[in-house]
Amino acid sequence: MYIPKYRQAQLTAYYTKHPEDGIAAFDTAYSDIKRAFIYYMEHYNNGRPIIIASHSQGTNHAERLLSDFFDGKPLQKQLVAAYLVGMPINKTRYANITPCESPTETGCFCSWTTFKRNHYPKTYYCRGYADAACVNPISWKLDDTAIPRMQNSGGLFYDYKRIAKNCSDAQSNKGILWIRHPHFSGSFLVYMKNYHVGDINLFYYDVRKNAVQRVNEYLKDKR
């Protein structure tokens, strides 16, 4: 894993009354990531397949990275998949990279934002959720089939030690991911409608297993 250190934009950059300052903050953050990626390609990649994985602000930058380096460019051939999690990514964001529609598709992107079932965020329309690609992180499909939590491979707690097996169901719905109340030790204390903090943790072992599936498929196609 190669993880860039960068000057992350402060949270208020998303909500500032001075948009030009917010844009400048994100440009600074992205410039660090861009330089780190170029350095990685020059010193470490050696032609190997690539998975891009991100969450929250990282997804804003990874979205831009895909556009600058992969979409319709020679490097796209090395892309196994991109996991762009926690921010709405328009279904037609890229000219040549489409949302993943199966667990073994390669060269595509997966994205979802997690909310309590029957809840729509106040920013549903202005943030672009309605037109976002929402790939179910259990079935890895774009349809709206509800997948029960017993098919969830397991979530991971913030301490990276405890595993929550079968912790959450998942259903894609109009650009967002709906879940029922998750099941893990102490979950009765959790009351929230926006599960942004758990976008990846709730499906951690599904993501890990899927990354292996896509890599295996990519390598099989290259043999």
pLDDT tens digits along 140-186: 999 999 999 999 999 998 777 788 899 999 999 999 999 999 988 77
The reply to whether 5 falls in a domain is no
Give the integer Cα–Cα distance in Å for 80 and 46. 15
The reply to whether 15 falls in a domain is no
Note the pLDDT of residue 126.
86
Q: How many alpha carbons fall within 13 Å on the CB side of residue 220?
A: 9
The reply to whether 25 falls in a domain is no
Question: Which among 146, 145, 137, 150 is positioned nearest to 209, based on CA atoms?
Answer: 137
pLDDT tens digits along 24-69: 999 999 999 999 999 999 999 999 999 999 999 999 999 999 999 9
Note the pLDDT of residue 141.
97
- Structurally, how many domains does the chain consist of? 1
The reply to whether 132 falls in a domain is yes
The reply to whether 197 falls in a domain is yes
Predicted TM-score of the model (pTM): 0.95
The reply to whether 9 falls in a domain is no
The reply to whether 40 falls in a domain is no
Contacts of residue 146, defined as CB under 8 A and 6 or more positions apart, other chains included, come to 169, 170, 171
The reply to whether 1 falls in a domain is no
Strand ranges across the sheet with 176-179: 114-116, 176-179, 171-173
Which residue range is the domain that position 108 belongs to? 47-222
